[in-house]
Chains A and B, each alone.
Chain A
Amino acid sequence: MKRVLISTLALVFVASMAAFAGEYHMDGSLSCYQCHTMHYSQAHGYGYTHDVDFLIAGGPYDYLLRGPVNEMCLECHDNDDVIDVYQASDVYQVTNREAGFLNMVGDSITTTGHTLGTTAAAPGSNPTWTPPSTTEGFTCIDCHHQHGSKGSGNPDQVKGQWRNLVYRPGNIQAAPYAYVNYEESTEPEDLTKDIKWRASSAHADGAYETDNVDFYEPVANESRYGRWCQGCHTDFHGNSTSPNMHGTLGWLRHPTADANIGAIGGGHSSSTDFGSHAYRPQVMSPTGNWGTQGDSTWAAPADLTPTCVTCHKAHGTSQAFGLVYMTGRVPRSESGDGTRTTNLCKVCHVQGGY
């Protein structure tokens, strides 16, 4: 009897861990009612934690949704007590969001990152990719799976995709799919993962802070995160064997994989220069050695590689193209302390002797 009880408890524990493993909006944290309304009529809440009771005017909507996708997502993710993804973080306390922040069609500036509602083709998409919804344009669920689907081939069948990213982004509609896996703070170091997350859940303190995210490089000439972005921005990613990225004499587009900082030497990039910046943008490390932010004496290893997020924040910033104009001399911030893109370039590059 005692053994049965212990076994049962163990099973319950494992099951509960599985239920709460991974991101919010998946498995045990996927709450149907947060997004769906059965009758487009709701006079009160359910009395649950994380309850919602809003209905966006103009319904009822397809898929029994509470409103149009973007508006519905922003009901919680803008100006509320969960991660705020649109413009400034009004209520949710965060210093430097890993993904930055979005803009929206109708905003005074829509050139600083991903624009909700746009119907424009994704830059670099080949074949041309436009948001599938011609009425709503670009929506949150073009990148994030609303149900946290992992994909049957996902190497991490427990936690699934980082940030609930879809595994079939943009033009990647057939295998091999774009899996991006991560390691939580409660797990041992795993260099086969793509991301190191120094938090244990979406509700943990600092879960969305840039300082709590770093990027592994499990395969020397790949960036699985970069390939995920490539789903829409097809021509902007690849490696030194990709004709869209590399020519006979060198790179044709800025590398997002397969190019170690300082490898060429001379007046190009410099790992020494990179390490001499006390504060550095996120780069991929195959060994998990990113140095310590604030340390300008770090001897940066020769195997660090830039990828998309080295320069851009996924959602955007207040700078053009969602770039982070950081000088590397003061603590990192969402949009950077610099005034121009060259500030960022010079963290790695030494052309011109700087």
Chain B
Amino acid sequence: MIRFLAVCLLASVSVFAAGFPHGSDLPHHPGAGGPGMLLDTPPFTPGYHNGEELNCSDCHIMHASMQHDYGYDDEFDYPINIIPPTEKLLKAPSALQLCLNCHQDKVGIPDVIGPDVNGGVLRAAGQMGDIDAINDNGHNLSSQPGELCGRCHFGGEFHTASVTCVDCHNPHGTRYYRNLQWASDPQHTPPIVAFVNPGASGLQKYQQANVKYGGPGSGAGQPTWREVTNICIDCHHTLIDAGSNGGRYTNRDLNYHWNRHPSTNTEWGAYRPISGLPDDPAYSADSLNWYQGEGSEFSIGRMPFMVTEAHDYQAASEVAFDNEVICLSCHAAHGSANAFGLRWNPGDDSTPLHTAGCRQCHNNVANDLP
């Protein structure tokens, strides 16, 4: 008993002597081989809308008229007459309606609108709201979102800007994660990779519990594959900065006191580990709490995180002090049932829970909570 108490005392003293573990004081996450490790783009098994699972007839109709199907169940009701015919020979009046013909309330197909018809617990991308409506809980979804830049600039604004599925997803496949693409430059999108539990099958592959995130490291010569949230910056570029300590959008005076919450963007060389930046004098996160993963704030599940240089699902699953914060750490890509598409309910009546997402990394500012 005496030896146990001594060990506990020593451990406590060492933690408080060093402060919360952060920055260069910490070892890298267990799955990393160290900075500068060169790894190719991780292998990825393409999903639907790729290769042999890219079916032209799923989405296109040659003559805007079909009296019957092709002899297999393709989720459409026949006869189909598209009046007037649509550009790109689409099998619906708009790309959005086309996508939702399969991806809304169809059993056996990923459901992206509202509650999951397939009964999933938590979809990795969350859920979209109503079509052609302002959605305070995620992206606004529209069949006619307009020219990309003009949605937010030159008269457009963030709150009303809307998206359509094919802004972010390439309908002809990219061979990589969820067929994600840069909305502004689809053809030059680098491989976008996330890791799906190899043990998951069917719609389980779309559950958050079976999706982990990785990204390339910061060393010279790293391959150009990118983390999932690389596509976010196409539109949300004022929420992210390059550089080791932010910039004009997120930390304009470079004093380590962030003006906007930091998040990792490997394309711009911005790495934002929970453990803080090397030599950060204002480090205020709680990487120990994150690492330990205890407390009521984890009752909502651990927020998604990114592991640099992770090359497979297992490595990307490793919890470490220096796990990276990414957009998806707090937000579901499509949206959620919560404001801003947050992964927890900031309006929860329970004080511990309405800050749960914050406290996983910042519990040091809320020590009086259970």
Contact B65 A342 (CB under 8 A): no
CB-CB under 8 A from A111, the residues of chain B are: 67-68, 71
Bound Cα distance from A342 to B65, whole angstroms: 18
B348 within 8 A of A: no
Contact A254 B89 (CB under 8 A): yes
Most chain A beta carbons < 10 A, residue from B49, B62, B85, B88:
B62
A172 within 8 A of B: no
CB-CB under 8 A from B84, the residues of chain A are: 252
Contact B55 A320 (CB under 8 A): no
**B77 → A minimal CB distance (Å):** 15
Bound Cα distance from A235 to B49, whole angstroms: 29
Bound Cα distance from A352 to B66, whole angstroms: 24
Contact B68 A252 (CB under 8 A): no
Bound Cα distance from A124 to B49, whole angstroms: 29
Interface residues of B (CB under 8 A from A): 49-51, 54-57, 62-71, 84-89, 172-173, 175, 187
A251 within 8 A of B: yes
Contact A340 B70 (CB under 8 A): yes
The 0/1 profile, CB within 8 Å of B marked 1, for residues 224-253 of chain A is 000000000101100000001001011111
Bound Cα distance from A320 to B62, whole angstroms: 13
A351 within 8 A of B: yes
Beyond A123-B63, A352-B173, whether A342 also contacts B56 by CB under 8 A is yes
Further 4 A-B residue pairs, CB within 8 A, beyond A111-B67, A236-B63, A247-B85 = A253-B89, A254-B63, A320-B71, A354-B54
Contact B69 A320 (CB under 8 A): yes
**A268 → B minimal CB distance (Å):** 10
Contact A267 B187 (CB under 8 A): yes
A341 within 8 A of B: yes
CB-CB under 8 A from A320, the residues of chain B are: 68-71
CB-CB under 8 A from B71, the residues of chain A are: 111, 319-320
Which residues of chain A in 300-354 are interfacial with respect to chain B, using CB atoms and an 8 Å cutoff? 311, 319-321, 340-342, 345, 349, 351-354
Of B54, B55, B63, B70, which contacts A124 at CB under 8 A? Answer: B63
The 0/1 profile, CB within 8 Å of B marked 1, for residues 153-185 of chain A is 000000000000000000000000000000000
**B208 → A minimal CB distance (Å):** 28
CB-CB under 8 A from A124, the residues of chain B are: 63, 65
Interface residue tally for chain A (C-beta within 8 Å): 30
Bound Cα distance from A109 to B183, whole angstroms: 44
Most chain B beta carbons < 10 A, residue from A341, A345, A352:
A352
Interface residues of A (CB under 8 A from B): 111, 120, 123-124, 233, 235-236, 244, 247, 249-254, 266-267, 311, 319-321, 340-342, 345, 349, 351-354
Contact A252 B65 (CB under 8 A): no
CB-CB under 8 A from B63, the residues of chain A are: 123-124, 233, 235-236, 253-254
Contact A352 B172 (CB under 8 A): yes
**A311 → B minimal CB distance (Å):** 8
CB-CB under 8 A from B65, the residues of chain A are: 123-124, 235-236
CB-CB under 8 A from A321, the residues of chain B are: 66, 70
Of A247, A250, A345, which contacts B56 at CB under 8 A? Answer: A345
Contact A252 B172 (CB under 8 A): no
Bound Cα distance from A261 to B213, whole angstroms: 41
Bound Cα distance from A193 to B56, whole angstroms: 33
Of A247, A319, A352, which contacts B87 at CB under 8 A? Answer: A247
Contact A352 B85 (CB under 8 A): no
Q: List 14 A-B contacts (CB under 8 A).
A: A124-B65, A236-B65, A244-B85, A250-B88, A252-B64, A254-B62, A267-B187, A319-B71, A320-B70, A341-B56, A345-B56, A351-B54, A352-B54, A354-B54
**B88 → A minimal CB distance (Å):** 7
Contact B56 A252 (CB under 8 A): no
- Please name the 5 residue pairs, one residue from A and one from B, whose CB atoms are nearest each other, closest first: A252-B85, A352-B172, A254-B62, A351-B172, A320-B70
CB-CB under 8 A from B173, the residues of chain A are: 352-353
**B171 → A minimal CB distance (Å):** 9
CB-CB under 8 A from A349, the residues of chain B are: 56
Of B51, B87, B175, which contacts A252 at CB under 8 A? Answer: B87
CB-CB under 8 A from B62, the residues of chain A are: 253-254, 311
**A196 → B minimal CB distance (Å):** 26
Contact B51 A352 (CB under 8 A): yes
Contact A353 B175 (CB under 8 A): yes
**A236 → B minimal CB distance (Å):** 4
Bound Cα distance from A319 to B69, whole angstroms: 11
**A102 → B minimal CB distance (Å):** 16
CB-CB under 8 A from B85, the residues of chain A are: 244, 247, 252-253
Contact B57 A341 (CB under 8 A): yes
Question: Quick one: closest A residue to B78, CB to CB?
Answer: A111
Contact A267 B57 (CB under 8 A): no
Beyond A250-B87, A320-B71, A349-B56, whether A235 also contacts B64 by CB under 8 A is yes
**A120 → B minimal CB distance (Å):** 8
Contact A341 B70 (CB under 8 A): yes
Bound Cα distance from A161 to B68, whole angstroms: 32
Bound Cα distance from A354 to B54, whole angstroms: 10
Bound Cα distance from A321 to B57, whole angstroms: 12
CB-CB under 8 A from B56, the residues of chain A are: 341-342, 345, 349, 351
**A113 → B minimal CB distance (Å):** 12
Bound Cα distance from A28 to B68, whole angstroms: 43
Question: Quick one: closest B residue to A112, CB to CB?
Answer: B71
CB-CB under 8 A from A341, the residues of chain B are: 55-57, 70
Bound Cα distance from A311 to B175, whole angstroms: 28
